[in-house]
């Protein structure tokens, strides 16, 4: 009888431990660890920028992630990565979140997406005045040649909206910039944020042209599929709240100022809130 009681008691303890582990959610795990982990990409202003002397990370993604970490009462840990590996880092559990992700159906097979943190429009960076005021339909013509970095969200956009134009695809963004700067291409297809920085750093490439209708893609936060619904809901709630009250736009604009870019440099009628 005593043996039976001992067995039952041991089973009860085991079940209570299992139940306790099941109740420990994603937020609890992050708080126990003491850090929120995100991937950071070198030299990707205004998203990320790592000071080589101090190792300190800056950029609007860092500001956003720090705000989430502060809400969770943990520290932020930035894991050096790349745009190509950021989704894999989330999928493998190496990091908890990845910011500045363009939501695509293919990526949705690997990770969950939060509500949009901001909206990033597609633009043409060009020195040719004839491209000003054009529609995407008018630019979809074999007489135009555009440069783009292969596999990017802007590359996907050209396949859908500029199938008749001559598209030069390059392995890196820098190669695409050179093509547009040297006249091999009529312009560079880019996102608004990257276009603002590129046109400031390399004035000879020209200015931003915003073809109509304005095509904007939601930028989201990637979350591991195994994260619980409480954590996913929290991240989406954070994104909705800060986008709607303008905090996300403020962080973005502040990160552009060191590059000499001000709010008035952003094309009229464009807003990051969608």
Question: For each successive 10 residues of the chain (274 residues), what is the average pLDDT?
Answer: 48 43 79 98 94 95 98 98 94 97 90 96 96 96 97 92 98 95 97 94 94 92 97 98 95 94 81 74
Residue 68 shares a structural domain with residue 200: no
Residue 193 shares a structural domain with residue 254: no
Residue 205 shares a structural domain with residue 242: no
Residue 241 shares a structural domain with residue 186: no
- 199 inside domain: yes
**Peptide bond between residue 271 and the one before it cis (omega within 30 degrees of 0):** no
Domain with 108, as residue range(s), is 26-118+218-265
Rounded Cα distance, 98 and 101, in Å: 7
pLDDT at 252: 95
pLDDT at 100: 95
Tally Cβ neighbours within 10 Å of residue 170.
Answer: 17
**Tokens 């009229």 identify what position?**
268
Helices 229-244 & 247-256 angle (0-180, nearest 10): 70
- What is the distance in angstroms between the CA of the first residue and the CA of the last residue of the chain? 69
- 185 inside domain: yes
Residue 223 shares a structural domain with residue 245: yes
Residue 113 shares a structural domain with residue 237: yes
pTM of the model: 0.85
- 1 inside domain: no
By CB neighbour count within 10 A (0-12 exposed, 13-18 middle, 19+ buried), where does 63 fall? middle
- 223 inside domain: yes
Residue 195 shares a structural domain with residue 210: yes
Sign of the torsion formed by the C-alpha atoms of 111, 113, 117 and 122:
positive
- 47 inside domain: yes
Listed residue (267, 263, 252) closest to 45, CA to CA: 252
CB-based contacts of 33, cutoff 8 Å, min separation 6: 74
Listed residue (269, 117, 253, 151) closest to 197, CA to CA: 253
Residue 107 shares a structural domain with residue 55: yes
Q: State how many domains the chain has.
A: 2
Residue 97 shares a structural domain with residue 41: yes
pLDDT at 84: 86
CATH number of the domain to which 251 belongs? 3.40.190.10
């Amino acid at each position: 009888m005593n043996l039976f009681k001992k067995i039952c008691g041991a089973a009860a303890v085991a079940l209570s431990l299992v139940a306790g582990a099941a109740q420990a959610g994603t937020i609890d795990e992050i708080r126990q660890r003491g850090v929120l982990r995100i991937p950071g990409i070198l030299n990707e202003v205004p998203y990320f920028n790592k000071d080589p002397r101090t190792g300190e990370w800056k950029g609007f993604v860092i500001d956003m992630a720090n705000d989430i970490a502060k809400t969770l009462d943990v520290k932020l840990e930035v894991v050096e990565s790349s745009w190509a590996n950021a989704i894999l880092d989330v999928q493998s559990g190496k990091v908890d979140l990845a910011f500045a992700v363009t939501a695509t159906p293919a990526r949705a097979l690997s990770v969950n997406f939060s509500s949009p943190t901001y909206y990033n429009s597609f633009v043409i960076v060009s020195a040719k005045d004839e491209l000003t005021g054009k529609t995407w339909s008018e630019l979809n013509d074999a007489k135009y040649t555009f440069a783009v970095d292969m596999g990017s969200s802007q590359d996907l956009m050209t396949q859908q909206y500029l199938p008749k134009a001559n598209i030069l695809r390059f392995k890196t963004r820098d190669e695409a910039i050179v093509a547009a700067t040297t006249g091999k291409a009529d312009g560079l297809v880019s996102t608004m944020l990257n276009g603002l920085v590129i046109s400031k750093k390399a004035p000879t490439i020209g200015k931003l042209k915003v073809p109509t209708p304005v095509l904007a893609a939601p930028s989201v936060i990637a979350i591991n599929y195994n994260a619980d619904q409480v954590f996913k809901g929290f991240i989406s709630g954070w994104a909705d709240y800060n986008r709607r009250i303008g905090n996300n736009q403020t962080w973005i604009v502040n990160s552009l100022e060191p590059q000499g870019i001000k709010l008035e440099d952003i094309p009229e009628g464009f807003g990051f809130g969608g």
